[in-house]
Chain A
Amino acid sequence: MAHAAGVIFRQPSVIPGFGLALGFTLIYLSAIVLIPLLALVVKSAGLGWSDFWRLATDARTLAALRLSFGAALVAAMINAVFGLLLAWVLVRYRFPGRRLIDAFIDLPFALPTAVAGIALTALYAPNGWVGQFLAPLGLKVAYTPLGVIVALTFVSLPFIVRTVEPVLAEIDRELEEASATLGATRLQTVSKVVLPSLLPALMTGFALALARAVGEYGSVIFIAGNIPYVSEIAPLLIVIRLEEFNYGAATAVAAVMLAISFSMLLLINLIQAWSRRRFGHGA
């Protein structure tokens, strides 16, 4: 019996259907997600280390990865600032149309990326709605890395707002009152009392935004101009290699991107675990 207790897989329950539900879940998960991802791993392992390294560190690949990562980082930082501001305004202030605007924040989740891509290009092209006013200033947005940043800012906009909003709404206002009665200015209260407790949520949102932006394809390819070494993102390079039937190169770029994404997923989980220990709640 002592032996059996050591290998108990699940606790007994009167509810039926565990085997069927878990069995179906595992089969479906394996068939749709795990086995296909394994195919990618097998394929890149089949390349051999030296070939893989050559393909993954090819100058054009590195330029594309640098752009995807750099632009995603800038976009996430822009959204950290404005996402925090939006969450603050939407949670703390009351003004007409607030609920409508709050609902509207999720537009980038709902709008197909290709639609966002052509719309942003129509706005920021040199003869576009906004672009025509920027062009005389010497500012070119569409068909440059700046265009990539604009598209990535659009697609990753909701993440930080949505992770910060619930935490900000839960914050105990008495802490701020205490801070005010102890003589702190409003700015001191916000920066030393409120912001630190928002930090885990902000970091989680930042990581989610970054993860989404790094892999983004649809909204970027229209506005980027896609010039190799300049405004060509990593997912596009995968597509180009596939169209050349160069499966090895496509696989190598994909494997590098996947490794980066999974590290970020791990990072998000670590932030949340840290936040639960430090603040007693997940971000």
Chain B
Amino acid sequence: MVLEPSFQGAVLAAPARSSHRSPVSEAPATRRVLIAIALLFLGFFLFLPLVAVFVEALRGGVGTYLRAISEPDALSAMKLTLLVAAIAVPANIVFGIAAAWAIAKFEFKGKAFLITLIDLPFSVSPVISGLVYILLFGTHGVLGPLVESAGIKIVFALPGIVLATIFVTFPFVARELIPLMQEQGTGDEEAALSLGASGFKTFLLVTLPNVKWALLYGVLLCNARAMGEFGAVSVVSGHIRGVTNTMPLHVEILYNEYAFQAAFAVASLLALLALLTLALKSLLEWRFADGIAAVRGH
């Protein structure tokens, strides 16, 4: 816990010259200058870009805005984005739970290495995350002839987009669950099992309630990235308008066609999603700080 600097100062400081200036904090003027610099930096780098999205989106009036987000290509992009997230997020939830169960509830060799491997996708450039699937399933890819003869289209189609999205959002759920479940140990599960609960029942009624906020936290971050991913999806999508365009790709196409207002209109929906994600994430951090892992930052 951080002590209130001014309060602490009032107790410690000698009532001589600098009446109640704490020896373990900065002078009020210094404090104000530091706060001002910090806020100015955030204003230029975070706040202004966010405001710009909404102002540019509404520049041509509400009518134009509504038309831009309700035209058929925009709607099909929204549908595709929702569909991709609806497949990728549950897939990574199942994986996250399985990985956390194996890693947190058991002691085995190579565990640290496995955790490193799970985090690997975060250190790969999004473009490379898309490229690897082209090298694997593309026409000249390692498995390309095989999937082609089976009549399956992966690259430049929905499966490729889903795979690339799963790749870039791979660690989100697992890395929220693993530290928390390691911290919680195995005592609760052992008690349930010794009282006669089945393994599945133990998981459902003991483990899952213990980690529900962390799970929700991971899902939130996973979903935000899944819906907003650009680089990886851009490489595998092939940019077929109305067919393989997700919302971020649609923003790019509109922007490159100089349809700036429409680009910002679609972008504003994604910005709203980001704000909603931040709000829910902060709510979880404030209300259920104990229920989510102490580790923050991604």
Q: Which residues of A contact B (CB under 8 A)?
A: 9-11, 13-18, 20-22, 24-25, 28-29, 32-37, 39-40, 42-43, 82, 85-86, 88-95, 99, 101, 103-116, 118-120, 122-123, 129-130, 153-154, 157-159, 162-163, 165-166, 169, 173, 176-177, 180-181, 186, 189, 205, 208, 211, 214-218, 222, 234-236, 238-239, 242, 247, 250-251, 254, 257-258, 261-262, 264-265, 269
B10 to chain A, nearest CB (A): 14
Q: Mark B61-92, 1 if CB is under 8 A from A, else 0.
A: 00000000000000000000000000000000
Q: Mark B27-59, 1 if CB is under 8 A from A, else 0.
A: 100010011011101101111111011001000
- From A14, A17, A115, A238, B251 is in contact (CB under 8 Å) with A115
Which residues of chain B come closer than 8 Å to A88, judged between CB atoms? 34
With A217-B230, A235-B127, A257-B128 known to touch, is A86 a contact of B5 (CB < 8 Å)?
A: no
Q: Are A86 and B248 in contact (CB under 8 A)?
A: no
- From A21, A236, A239, B99 is in contact (CB under 8 Å) with A21
With A235-B231, A247-B140, A261-B123 known to touch, is A114 a contact of B248 (CB < 8 Å)?
A: yes
Give 20 CB contacts A-B under 8 Å.
Answer: A15-B106, A25-B103, A37-B132, A39-B136, A40-B131, A42-B142, A93-B34, A103-B282, A104-B46, A110-B224, A110-B273, A112-B229, A123-B49, A162-B298, A186-B23, A205-B297, A217-B125, A222-B255, A234-B125, A261-B123
- From A108, A181, A258, B124 is in contact (CB under 8 Å) with A258
Q: Are A110 and B277 in contact (CB under 8 A)?
A: yes
Q: Are A15 and B193 in contact (CB under 8 A)?
A: yes
A-B contact count (CB 8 A): 309
Interface centre among A85, A88, A99, A122 (most CB of B within 10 A): A122
Q: Are B50 and A111 in contact (CB under 8 A)?
A: yes
**CA A123 to CA B282, docked complex, whole Å:** 28
Which residues of chain A come closer than 8 Å to B95, judged between CB atoms? 24-25, 28-29
Q: Does B26 contact A (CB under 8 A)?
A: yes
B242-274 interface with A by 8 A CB criterion: 247-249, 251-252, 255, 260, 263-264, 267, 270-271, 273-274
A143 to chain B, nearest CB (A): 14
Q: Are A218 and B230 in contact (CB under 8 A)?
A: yes
With A14-B193, A107-B278, A115-B271 known to touch, is A154 a contact of B132 (CB < 8 Å)?
A: no
Q: Which residues of B contact A (CB under 8 A)?
A: 2-5, 8, 12, 23-27, 31, 34-35, 37-39, 41-42, 44-50, 52-53, 56, 94-95, 98-99, 101-103, 105-109, 114, 116-121, 123-128, 131-136, 138, 140-142, 163, 166-167, 170, 186, 189-190, 193-194, 199, 202-203, 221, 224, 227-231, 234-235, 247-249, 251-252, 255, 260, 263-264, 267, 270-271, 273-275, 277-279, 281-282, 285-286, 294, 296-298
- From B56, B106, B136, A18 is in contact (CB under 8 Å) with B106
Which residues of chain B come closer than 8 Å to A129, judged between CB atoms? 48, 52
Please name the 9 residue pairs, one residue from A and one from B, whose CB atoms are nearest each other, closest first: A215-B125, A112-B228, A162-B297, A10-B108, A218-B230, A16-B199, A180-B23, A36-B132, A217-B231
Q: Are A158 and B42 in contact (CB under 8 A)?
A: no
B56 to chain A, nearest CB (A): 5
B166 to chain A, nearest CB (A): 6
Which residues of chain A come closer than 8 Å to B108, judged between CB atoms? 9-11, 18, 22
Which residues of chain B come closer than 8 Å to A238, judged between CB atoms? 127-128, 131, 235
Which of chain B's residues has its CB closest to A129's CB? B52
A124 to chain B, nearest CB (A): 9
Which of chain A's residues has its CB closest to B186's CB? A15
With A112-B270, A239-B127 known to touch, is A122 a contact of B4 (CB < 8 Å)?
A: no
A222 to chain B, nearest CB (A): 7
**CA A250 to CA B127, docked complex, whole Å:** 10
Which residues of chain B come closer than 8 Å to A265, judged between CB atoms? 116, 119-120, 123
Q: Are A211 and B123 in contact (CB under 8 A)?
A: yes
Which of chain A's residues has its CB closest to B189's CB? A15
With A18-B102, A22-B108, A33-B120 known to touch, is A173 a contact of B135 (CB < 8 Å)?
A: no
Which residues of chain B come closer than 8 Å to A89, judged between CB atoms? 34-35, 38
Interface centre among A29, A39, A111 (most CB of B within 10 A): A111
Which residues of chain A come closer than 8 Å to B221, judged between CB atoms? 109
Q: Are A116 and B49 in contact (CB under 8 A)?
A: yes
With A13-B106, A18-B106, A104-B42 known to touch, is A114 a contact of B230 (CB < 8 Å)?
A: yes
